[in-house]
A and B are shown apart, each in its own frame.
Chain A
Amino acid sequence: MGAIYRREMQSYFYTPAAYVFMGVFLTLGSIFFGVGNLAARSGHVPSLLAQLSYLWVLLCPVLTMRLIAGERRARTDQMLFASPCPLTHLVLGKYLAACTVVGITVCLTLVYPLLVSLYGTLYLGETAAAYIGLLLQGCAFTALDLFLSCFGRSQMTAAALGVGVNLVVWLADALAGAAPGLAGKALDFISLYRRFAPFVRGQLSLSNLLYYVLFIFIMLFLSVRVMDARRWSEA
């Protein structure tokens, strides 16, 4: 797993992938901060983080699209499958590398609360809870998009599929109102926004934490299953 993790990290930082991801995230984040905090003279960081969380929907597929689909396209997956490295380690190594980039990006946004604390009042507990939510949200979308990267060989297809599914999962609670009965309840349950909102309010709930952990676990488990199943069916 360590070998896969290291290679993915090298790949992220030897190519523009991580820089594009972090650059776009921080540029848009700085615009949100300038407009929502500096211009509005507001020291409320959780509302900024709530806006930043939208960016995961669009940017996480950029980070994950090459993880599996890119390997399949370049045929480098054969080297990985022929190695003694189990599929579980392979998926975990790739996932942890992507999460590290997400984590570094989140860490770089700490400059915003730092500026707020220098020139105003920072509500530390509320901000910390919102940061935990933002990180978990990023990790959940990364796991979902890694799973979607297992389908097909094209990175563009994986990215487009990722953005589409992310939007559905993000806005599922809004769609739930329009869907009748059990479907509405199911959509409401899978909504990641509904799980994220309490963190922005400064609430750390065990059920929401467990939801994220379970969501990530299921996505990684399904990724392993899809890759294993392909060994039996693929020409």
Chain B
Amino acid sequence: MISPADGGSGMISFQAVSKRYGAHQALREVTFHQPRGQVLGLLGRNGAGKSTAMNILCGCLAPSSGAVTVGGRDVLLNPRQAKRLIGYLPEQAPLYDEMTVEKYLEFACRLKEVEKAAIPVHVGQVMEKTGLDSVSGRKIGNLSRGYRQRVGMAQALCGTPEVLILDEPTAGLDPLQSSEMRALIRQLAGEHTIMLSSHILSEVQQICGRVIILNRGRIVCDRDLQAKTEEKPPLRALIACGEQALLPALRTMKTAGDIRVERGGEAGLTQVVLTPAERGETERELFALLSQRGWPLLRLTPVEDSLEDIFLRAAAEAEEE
């Protein structure tokens, strides 16, 4: 496990949740708390336990042990109260092909116990938000994949739930439709606490404030992506100078932090990674040092720890364990 990102209870809370299907352990002692208003991304390979966790959260499955609460209400003990706070878009959008979009959303509103008199206005608002106005009278069975996914998202929004659970919301969409869906999720992020799963790492990085990586039913990484961007990233520098002369000079810097040499480059050039302990004036001090010594700086780039790096590292660490 890399690092826990959040403590205390939140809008969504998993407490030592395990799920077993016969001999297969789908979730193992999963514990996390998700604060209100944040977008949480669940990552993991197929069979890692993402969909199981989401199904347990929305009450479609019962955990073998542990407790799940939504807004402080236990999903197993107070299902009705907990489910009032949830909007769920499963991996395959739950659509009735013979219904029109408007009739379907009216049904979703009644199911979510929206007041009868408020349903027409509410359905109108949801259709406007999801861009479905133009197809409101069309049968769902005749809609394209992108529109069907939007209808699925619209039913999740009916009843204005505080928590949105989105299981692979862009799966099967073309790049343009995916982009529109991501824009919609970002737009909704301010109003709802969102938990989404995805295979696409860049998508999670774009949308989510926090990511949890599951591997074989266990949390192997819990990372706050927003906090990460505020940290000082390491710097990779390519300098036209031999390693023997460069390293002692760099060690005289106050803000260089940890210094690592990356070998395998051209002769006469040295590539180093500086990992400053805290935010500081590393670049300024490095420029000053190199100009004083007359060593040209050929390249200086921040080393971003991509989600892919985190994902692969977490999976590798889990395999080692």
Contact = CB atoms under 8 A, between A and B. Distances in A.
Nearest to B95: A76
B112 A10 contact: no
Chain A CB count within 10 A is highest, among B81, B86, B111, B113, for: B111
Interface string A205-235: 0000000000000000000000000011111
Nearest to A76: B94
B24 A235 contact: yes
B110 A6 contact: yes
A193 B64 CA distance: 44
B34 to A, nearest CB: 17
A233 B112 contact: no
Contacts of A80: 111
Contacts of A82: 58-60, 83, 86, 88, 165
Interface stretch (A35-43, A83-91, A124-132): A83-91
Interface in A49-85: 74-85
A76 B108 CA distance: 11
Taking chain A's interface residues, is the majority helix, strand, or loop, or is none over half, making it mixed? helix
A120 interface: no
A10 B60 contact: no
Contacts of B88: 78-79, 82
Contact of B96 (A2, A11, A78, A84): A11
Contacts, number: 78
Interface in B128-172: 155, 165
A75 B94 CA distance: 6
A9 to B, nearest CB: 11
A82 B24 CA distance: 24
Contact of B98 (A11, A78, A79): A11
A85 B24 CA distance: 30
Given A78-B90, A84-B80, A86-B80, A7 B24 contact: no
Contacts of A85: 111
Interface string B80-100: 110110101010101110110
A155 to B, nearest CB: 14
A157 B170 CA distance: 33
A73 B11 CA distance: 32
A14 interface: yes
A3 interface: yes
B52 to A, nearest CB: 8
A84 B113 contact: yes
Contact of A234 (B61, B84, B98, B113): B61
B21 A84 contact: no
A233 B60 CA distance: 11
A27 interface: no
Contacts of A235: 21, 24, 26
Contact of A81 (B60, B84, B110, B155): B60
A85 B107 CA distance: 12
B72 to A, nearest CB: 16
A202 B250 CA distance: 106
B62 A83 contact: no
B183 to A, nearest CB: 24
A81 B59 contact: yes
B62 A74 contact: no
A233 B113 contact: no
A85 B159 CA distance: 13
Given A84-B80, A86-B80, A234-B61, A79 B94 contact: yes
A104 to B, nearest CB: 19
B175 to A, nearest CB: 25
B33 interface: no
B103 interface: yes
B21 A233 contact: yes
A33 B88 CA distance: 52
B83 A83 contact: yes
B94 A78 contact: yes
Nearest to A2: B110
A59 to B, nearest CB: 21
A213 to B, nearest CB: 28
Interface string A156-192: 0000000000000000000000000000000000000
B27 to A, nearest CB: 12
Interface string B271-293: 00000000000000000000000
A201 B75 CA distance: 53
Contacts of B84: 84
6 contacts: A74-B95, A79-B88, A82-B59, A84-B81, A235-B24, A235-B26
In the A-B complex, list the 5 residue pairs whose CB atoms are closest, starting with the nearest: A3-B110, A79-B94, A82-B58, A82-B88, A76-B94
Interface of A: 2-4, 6-7, 10-11, 14-15, 74-86, 231-235
Given A76-B96, A78-B58, 20 more contacts: A6-B107, A7-B96, A7-B99, A7-B107, A10-B103, A11-B96, A74-B94, A74-B96, A75-B90, A75-B92, A78-B55, A79-B88, A81-B58, A82-B59, A83-B111, A84-B81, A84-B112, A85-B111, A231-B62, A233-B21
